[in-house]
A = this chain, B = another copy of it.
Amino acid sequence: MSLVVIGSVALDTVKTPFGEARDALGGSATFFSASASYHTQVRAVAVVGEDFPQQHLDFLSSRGVDLTGVSRVPGQTFRWSGEYGYDLNNAETRDTQLNVFASFKPVLPESYRDAEYVFLANIDPELQLEVVRQVRKPKLIACDTMNFWINGKREALLRTLKEVHLLVINEAEARQLGGEFSLVRAARAIHAMGPEILVVKRGEYGSMLFQRDDVCGIPAFPLEEVFDPTGAGDTFAGGLMGSLAKSGRLDRQSLGRAIATGTVMASFVVEKFSLDRMRNLTMAEIEDRYKTIRRMTHYEEWSDLHPPAKG
């Protein structure tokens, strides 16, 4: 089923202990789209400037991403520059130039408005709400957000969250938004704001999914080396939403498979700069890692060791 994403398309300059990439393809909608494209049809809404290389759009088209909603306008493309230390968990932002993104007003092409799955990447919650109002019969609206909006636009964010079924955020942001140190309690507080499903991203520690009183937890894929974590969260969300849109189901088993798929997609993107790993990533590789991570968390039933007493 079709999946719409709204977010940024950017040119990233990233420095890690292993090297540096300048003006590389980035942005939340980009990572999300490329990742989800392995699982379902994706339609993107974003804006780029006059300087944005056509080859990047061609790459997304080659992955089957519908770019009808990506407009090119006068000015420069959104640019982000950041640096990671050895722990690679947190980027230090060196520079942000919003450029054409500053006046971005998302308008869904008519052909997008029947989409059943919608992902609102981490942008101003007021813009997220405008998108919600443009889709006619959504089955699942998911969104991301960050500390900047939780602090600075809490009221607008709460209005958006009322319309959202699934929220996917970092652990610290879940605690901040929920106002509780305990994740179990924070999840309960967030459920009360609207989203019946909360996915908490924990970086190298994996992710947890809270669906009312049910919980699913998956470790990260154990990589020998993380090269560049930029875009890992959006790539995770792309795998998650792509899997859900493909299955059309929201039961606990399908949600578990969806976060495992997101985990696998993210494990690939961090192996190289930008989206480079996705330029030759195959479904066979994805399937192989999915099976590995599923085996990682599988073990025997209680009754195999503790047979029930004979009656």
Contacts and interface: CB of A to CB of B under 8 A. Distances in A.
Interface residues on A, range: 35 or more
B246 A216 contact: no
Contact of A260 (B215, B259, B299): B299
Nearest to A306: B287
A219 B206 contact: yes
Interface stretch (A114-122, A140-148, A150-158, A250-258): A250-258
A301 B287 CA distance: 10
Given A181-B87, A222-B184, A297 B216 contact: yes
A218 to B, nearest CB: 7
Interface in A160-205: 181-185, 202, 205
A297 B224 contact: no
A183 B206 CA distance: 14
Given A208-B222, A222-B184, A243 B305 contact: yes
Interface stretch (A6-14, A102-110, A288-296): A288-296
A223 interface: yes
A290 B305 CA distance: 12
A225 interface: yes
Contacts of A287: 302, 306
Q: Which 8 A-B pairs have the closest CB atoms?
A: A256-B299, A217-B219, A297-B297, A205-B205, A257-B300, A184-B224, A253-B300, A257-B299
